Structure 1
Amino acid sequence: MDIKSVTRSRPGRLIAACALAVTLATPLAVTGPASAATTLTVAQSLAAQDGRSASVTGYVVGQPTATNTVITSNYTADTAIAIADAAAETGTGRMLYVQVTAAWRSSFGLLSTPSLRGRQVTVTGTLTAYFSHGGLKNPTAMSLGGGAGPSPTASPTASPTPAPTGGPYDSTYYASAIGRTGTTLRNSLHAVIKVQTKLSYDQVWDALRDTDEDPANPANVILLYSGRSQSKSGNGGGVNDWNREHVWAKSHGNFGTATGPGTDVHHLRPEDVSVNSERGNKDFDSGGGAVSEAPGCYTDADSFEPRNAVKGDVARMILYMAIRYEGDDGWPNLEPNDSVSNGSAPYLGRLSKLLAWNDQDPPDAFEKRRNQRIYERWQGNRNPFVDHPEWARAIWS
């Protein structure tokens, strides 16, 4: 990638409402199955490049000039902007390239209005590739979403609607699942959470530095099993380094580290190299001998028991994987069972123990923050069992 002159600043946050529509003198044709009912994040829009019409909210981060190039100064045209979920985003893979047609160029083109960079905007148009990159074309509405600033003469000032009680994801993200149980709940949740941005294995390093940041020391991450706070830069393969632990062991289904389940940050966590190796690909259960570098953890020949503070976290990560990967997108159908001798089969146990851990260790502030960061900044999807732990029993009763 080639992105210039970007400085880090506070990440942006998703506004809770769609921008008011703007009517053009000559409406532009929009392809896609239906108009957008809610505003998407950039991450969600990148995962939905299927020709639908949608409204997307993000921060203007620069002008795209090629598939992997976004410039942040000395702009050359008013014909395109790149938006992202964070105002300081530098990774082009997490940017949406937006076509700026003639009706909007004087107010939303960076050559004419360079002060637009860093501002939050909402754009409605067709989600389809632009510059051979995730994009939005043929805009039918563009407005600022977060304060006064440039906007087209024909555009009324947008008035954000307050988020519904409980957070916008609760009333809209899970709308198709609320009130369901068993197989219908499972199917509804799968349809919701499979819409995600897929990361490369290299991108996982950066994601974990963000999602598992120590709240008491932003230069560190918290290691899952050992609970140790360790420098974000102390990753690698050496003794006492931290690496990327697959909580659903990647050999259980042989999905490796290819983009997909092998890079899904909802079950990847920082862990001490030695502890990661000691866990290996064992199933989860109680008992065994103490793990010397991970106080409160135990292991034997066929199972691993995490410390009490993260037992529920481990359970909810495993249950997420079972719902997300149902065998319909080229990956194996992952499923928890009550065995601890699953080998390379796409199963992981022990389910009865995982359900008990989910009950005894409910989501804490760290786990909830992690879920939100994955949703807002990295994958655009959520772990439903962090938001609704009761759904575990509703599905696997």
Structure 2
Amino acid sequence: MKLYALFKKTWAMSLLIFVLLVSLTPVSQAAAFLSVAQALENQNNSVQTVKGYVVGQPTGTSTVITSNYPNDYALALADSSNETNTDKMVYVQIPSNLRSTFGLQSHSELKGKSLTVTGTLTPYFSHSGIKSVTSISTETGGTDPAPDPTEPTVPVEDYYRTAAEKTGNSLKTELHNIIDHHTELSYSAVWEALKKTDEDPANANNVILLYTGRSQAKGTNGGGVDDWNREHVWAKSHGDFGTAMGPGTDLHHLRPADVSVNSTRGNLDFDNGGTEHSEALGNYFDSDSWEPRDEVKGDVARMLFYMAVRYEGDVSDEPDLELNNTVNNGTAPYHGKLSVLLQWNAQDPVDDRERRRNDIIYSDYQHNRNPFIDHPEWVNEIWN
């Protein structure tokens, strides 16, 4: 009997210890978070909570600014509030519903503060990052809720607030001021960006080529005959800006295109007519102009309208690009044919693929938008 009583007592104590351990385990797990250094080492698309100090706003792969923040879309965390080495920072993409609370343009006082961020460990700005963020909180609490999936990705109307009720040159000037000073990419970074902006929605391994409409493997970019390369829709010789950062790397007019088709298009202005291209059916060309297929006529027009507003020559190293009603513009900073582009804008309305592309460029890369995708009616307000 004594042995039975001892066994019973020992079993009861063991059970109590087990229950206590089980009850304590979730608390420990819930409190766990990664340091920034650990987040940098584990860019594996896992969902984690990271704790660090706000050290600035990333504007490029190796650029973090610490004042005069351009917007509320991103912040950089480090394990030290005084960190200046971007290799020791993790870049956080702030979702739209958290920007008014944790964006640095709205709350510059957050610099130096400790935050915890829950999201997916994956590159942002081609740098170790946290995206698809579900919550951000200060060290003392105050976690904001996860984004509402029905909420627009980008607060478009707020973005254009200062352009309201303007017309003509006043509208053109105000839109320039809104979309100016975007984050600039290197020409090599354009390769990876296009793989995302022009991804085939039916096949994530492919991109859609502009003129042929062909779905082609992302990894076949290059200079070979059947490769795809970076097409400057505003021909880079029209203004002689080449591939310089700014107009030469602006994603709003760069698209994947078949190498040989791109070569045929060259620096031709846009107009109707010519001979149909044997590889890019539906596209026509002659000695001085190129006509794209019907499905992208509006896309082409709105890309050129964007370029004519974004680049006004008000910065010393940027050209003043303008649309005119001629062809054979050569190296002059002009592109035509305006009357035809106006027709194409009306003929081929904005579609969801264009809108998605505009959103990606805005949120992930340049942080500016093409106004004529959001408001195609503004085309006729400016060029009438």
Distance in 2, Cα, partners of 1:297 & 1:249: 17
Aligned runs of 1:50-89 on 2, under 5 Å?
51-52=67-68, 56-58=72-74, 67-70=85-88, 81-85=89-93
Q: CA deviation at 1:396?
A: 0.4
| Aligned CA distance change for structure 1 residues 61 and 299 (closer, same or farther; 3 Å) | farther
1:226 aligns to 2:206 (yes or no): no
Q: CA deviation at 1:68?
A: 4.5
1:350 aligns to 2:331 (yes or no): no
Counterpart position of 1:208: 194
Q: Which amino acid aligns with 2:279?
A: E
The one-character-per-residue Cα deviations of 1:97-130 (angstroms, maximum 9, x if unpaired) are x9987763xx55xxxxxx86749xxxxxxxxxxx
Tell me which of 340, 363, 369 is aligned to 1:376.
Answer: 363
Q: CA deviation at 1:172?
A: 1.3
Structure ranking higher on relative contact order (CA contacts 8 Å, 6+ apart): 1
The one-character-per-residue Cα deviations of 1:49-108 (angstroms, maximum 9, x if unpaired) are 5833687354777658664413xxxxxxxxxx5323289xxxxxxxx9x9987763xx55
Identity %: 49
Q: CA deviation at 1:365?
A: 1.1
Distance in 2, Cα, partners of 1:41 & 1:388: 29
Determine which structure has more spread, i.e. the larger CA radius of gyration. Answer: 2
1:177 aligns to 2:169 (yes or no): no
* Partners of 1:60 and 1:116 within 8 A in 2: no
Q: CA deviation at 1:164?
A: 11
Is the deviation greater in 275-284 or in 166-175?
166-175
Aligned runs of 1:128-139 on 2, under 5 Å?
none
Q: Which amino acid aligns with 2:42?
A: S
Q: Which amino acid aligns with 1:384?
A: P
Q: TM-score, normalised by structure 2?
A: 0.72
The gaps in structure 1 that reach 5 residues or longer are 11-39, 71-80, 88-95, 109-114, 120-144
- How many pairs are equivalent? 314
Distance in 2, Cα, partners of 1:269 & 1:195: 21
* Partners of 1:214 and 1:221 within 8 A in 2: yes
The one-character-per-residue Cα deviations of 1:187-243 (angstroms, maximum 9, x if unpaired) are 110000013110000000000000000000010000000100000000100111000
1:271 aligns to 2:289 (yes or no): no
Counterpart position of 1:293: 279
Aligned runs of 1:141-156 on 2, under 5 Å?
146-147=134-135, 151-153=138-140, 156=142
Distance in 1, Cα, partners of 2:149 & 2:201: 26
Tell me which of 235, 245, 254 is aligned to 2:231.
Answer: 245
Q: Which amino acid aligns with 2:87?
A: T
The one-character-per-residue Cα deviations of 1:113-153 (angstroms, maximum 9, x if unpaired) are xx86749xxxxxxxxxxxxxxxxxxxxxxxxx734x76333
Cα RMSD after superposing both structures: 3.6
* Partners of 2:58 and 2:76 within 8 A in 1: no
Bigger proportion of residues as helix? 2
Distance in 2, Cα, partners of 1:59 & 1:290: 49
Q: Which amino acid aligns with 1:380?
A: H
Partner SS state of residue 320, structure 1 = helix
Distance in 1, Cα, partners of 2:71 & 2:273: 51
